[in-house]
Structures are given as C-alpha cells and as structure tokens.
Amino acid sequence: MHAAEGPAWALALEHSAFAEAMRGGIYLYPAIETGHILGFACLIGAILVLDARLLGLGRGVSPAALARLAIPIAASGLALAAAMGVLLFLTEAAAYLRNPFFLAKLGLIAAGLVNIVLFHRYLKPGIDAWPADGLPPPRVRVSAAISAAIWIAVPICGRLIAYV
C-alpha cells in the first residue's frame, strides 16, 4: 500500500488542519509527544510499583495504602497518554493502521485495560485483608505479573513503531 493509501477516514484525519499544523510546526508535535511520554511514565511507573508490591516486593507497605496512591496516578497518566496518543495518531493515521507494532500496542493496551477491570471488579474488593508484611493471594500475584508484562511491552511496541 502506498503512503497516501488507506481508509478514507484515516486519510481525512491526516489532512485535517490540526494534523497539518502538527506536522508543520516546530513546537506542537514535540509538546504533544512529550505529554504522551509523561502520561505513560505516570501510568507505567505507578502500575509497576503497585504490581511489584502485589508480587511480594516492599513487604511492610500496605497494598491498600499503596493502591490509594498509585491508582489515581496511573489513571491520570492513562488519560494523558491516551489523549496525546490520539493526537499523535492524526499525523500519520493510515501508516499507523498498517504498522504491526502500532496494532500490537493497541492490543496490549486493550489487554491491560481488561486486566485492570478484572482486578478492580474481582480482586481489589478484598485488598484491605491482604497483609502489609506478606503476600497477597495467588490470583492477585498472577494478575500483577500479567499487568507488569503487558505494561512493559506497551512502550516497547510504541518505540518500535518508528522502525517499521
């Protein structure tokens, strides 16, 4: 597929005034990309700290107290990363739709979000009973391991987008 080929809606996004401004200006694209990276840093940093505790590191730190701190940071990071990611997508929408690492990144994000929903629905309600100096239940540790693997893979795929 030629660079100018793709779904009409993707090409329309690429040719929007905002996408043209992002590609043509010297400050807008880097500012949005910086926001995207900052959002992912907050998201992944907070998630990995919580996942590490749920996997057994940092015993002595209450999982409930850590979750109260980490989850809002992760949620704010997700909101920022997603908003900035959509804006970055506008610049080369058709090409991104053909990029296997972009598609893998989207799939991993979807899997990560499903894991978050399952954690909040089925595991987190019991968080106050998890010991501050011990291990959470095995299913919580499995969820944390899956979470860590997914959220580490997301920025790896994001970085590899540029090389395909």
Nearest to 109 by CA among 143, 161, 150: 150
Confidence of residue 51 (pLDDT cuts 50, 70, 90): very high
Counted domains in the chain: 1
Q: Encode pLDDT of 81-131 as tens digits.
A: 999 999 999 999 999 999 999 999 999 999 999 999 999 999 999 999 999
Residue 1 clears pLDDT 50, i.e. is over it = no
Whether residue 141 lies inside any domain: the answer is yes
The reported pTM is 0.93
Whether residue 143 lies inside any domain: the answer is yes
CA 113, 160, 14, 17 torsion-angle sign: positive
Angle at Cα 10 formed by Cα 5 and Cα 14, nearest 5°? 90
Whether residue 14 lies inside any domain: the answer is yes
User: Tokens in use for 1?
Assistant: 């597929």
User: Tokens in use for 152?
Assistant: 């580490």
User: What value does the mean pLDDT of the chain take?
Assistant: 96
List of residues 6+ apart from 25 with CB closer than 8 A: none
> CA 71, CA 79: separation in Å to the nearest integer?
12
Domain, as residue range, for 108: 8-163
